[in-house]
Structure 1
């Protein structure tokens, strides 16, 4: 008999033990400490009170953890992780967890539910589809290490740069709010924005983070968002903004988080500059309020 309780009934220690067991033998190492888990809850806007745990004979065997945000007057929910202990997989617990999440979403008046799934996790993707989710884009994590080639993002263009904070991009006419949860503006704490202009026209924007060592030397640059407006100079603009984000002359680690393959210009420019794919995911949505504003193309 499977029963459902709220995640908030667990202590942090119990929650982390369940998290680590639930993601055991997963496609990547998801192991967390208590401190890292608490930071994850805060940084990603996750709500233990609105997340669920599955029990079999009073033993916690699986969970699904949820976050909520408001966008354009709509309430968005995100499944930030569904994990089941290895010995209980294949017994229908995942279906029960997703059903319980959808019940919570409806209780909370959610209009659109989002999640990401590793592309190789065919069983999970098939389950999500049965529960009403649809794939609307493919996502990639990219990485490049060390100094880049001398012609990486080669540009001699003289566009104007405006530096600021992530919230600045929300005012732009071609701003796209529906992104993978962790790279949406509310999740980009400590990040910077860069806007490229030509005269009064805004041509591109990016949001990225620079991670420093104790001597304030750059160790890693991670790109969260980058959008290029259609124009006759799109490739020059792409090279220009990516050059100023990634600083090719430095010997550092460079990452791109959850980039949509639909963003062909940025994706192809990064591959041409030597970035390699680390992880591929699918981005899935479930419209709980029909019809909903067409935020997803």
Structure 2
């Protein structure tokens, strides 16, 4: 067994191994080449920081990773770990981490972050044995948005840029990696940014991708809640995507008002994840 980074590795071969690895996952899914390229781009996956396990020169396992520096702390995000069925039971995930951690340390990275499906006890135990601990539970919602009576005083306008300082002041919880400011700041061309205005004042916003129908962020000014502002924002999203189903992943479970609202407008929480961290 050989371990090396995936720098310059063929994406088509990675796609084949990715889909085989996740074909019997707790929540099975399948990516096209276009979607894998989109994942690599939008989640800032760096193949030179990602690692593969090779047997007879064939990829049998991988960890896809991205990195950022936040408040002086170097963080590596695990955007996907997979091992093909025939390669399991050989401790490959531990061996891949053993290989890549020295490279991460050279880049002043000392924190690892990942998400694992709630209920996937085998994976949770495996990551705990690797030194990861659960830091929060994240709820994943999807479904069709219901139209309900909304506040006619609120005007929705498309914004040309991210207003991060204002947006952050509206939020109670921090988004996970995929919906973080760090990831979204380079995705403006792929996103629609809507602002909810009461008069001339911005009182709410949402950021979403209408092609993949994914909502990344939504928040309302703390001083203007319970006024139907989020309802107006979601109604605008519904109209933009012609009533098709949407997803909003990784809502921190401590935000009970958010969960209640999403359920009220028709989205369902069918899957949840644990965010796990390890420092070294």
- Alignment CA distance shift 1:157-1:111 (3 Å): farther
Deviations 1:99-140 (A, max 9, x none): 334333222212532211111221112222222322222223
- 2: CA distance between counterparts of 1:83 and 1:173? 34
Residue 195 of structure 2: aligned partner: 195
Which residue of structure 1 lines up, in the alignment, with residue 146 of structure 2?
148
Q: Which runs of 4+ in 1 moved over 6 A?
A: none
Name the SS of the counterpart of 2:257 in structure 1.
Answer: helix
- Residue 222 (str. 1) matches residue 217 (str. 2): no
* Structure 2 match to 1:15: 14
**1:247 Cα shift?**
4.2
Query: Any idea what the Cα deviations from partners look like across 1:236-287, whole Å, max 9, x if unmatched?
Result: 3433433334349954323223322233222211101221224322222234
Long gaps (5+) in structure 2: none
TM-score (norm 1): 0.77
Q: How many angstroms apart in 1 are the aligned matches of 2:23 and 2:213? A: 29
Q: 1:182 pairs with 178, 183, 189, which one?
A: 178
* Residue in structure 2 matched with residue 169 of structure 1 by the alignment: 164
Does the alignment pair 1:37 with 2:32? no
Distance 2:209 2:13 in 1: 32
Q: Indicate conservation of the 8 Å contact 1:64/1:80, yes or no.
A: yes
Equivalent position of 1:158 in the other structure: 153
Structure 1 unmatched ranges of 5 or more: 212-219, 289-297
Question: 1:282 maps to what in 2?
Answer: 274
Cα deviation per residue 1:15-34 (whole Å; 9 max; x = unaligned)?
22322232231133443344
User: Could you tell me the TM-score, scaled by structure 2's length?
Assistant: 0.82
Q: CA RMSD in A?
A: 3.1
Q: For residues 78-117 of structure 1, what are the structure 2 equivalents within 5 Å?
A: 78-117=77-116
Task: Indicate if the aligned counterparts of 2:112 and 2:279 stay in contact, CA closer than 8 A.
Answer: yes
Q: 1:11 to 1:236 in 2, by over 3 A?
A: closer
2:251 to 251, 259, 263: 259
Q: Does 1:69 align with 2:68?
A: yes
CA-CA distance at 1:57 after TM superposition:
5.6
1:68 Cα deviation from its structure 2 partner? 1.7
Q: Which residue of 1 aligns with 2:236?
A: 244
Q: Aligned equivalents of 1:99 and 1:32: distance in 2?
A: 28
Deviations 1:203-224 (A, max 9, x none): 433212223xxxxxxxx74321
For residues 28 and 141 of structure 1, what CA distance do their matches in structure 2 show?
12
Change (3 A) 1:240 1:40: closer
Aligned length: 275
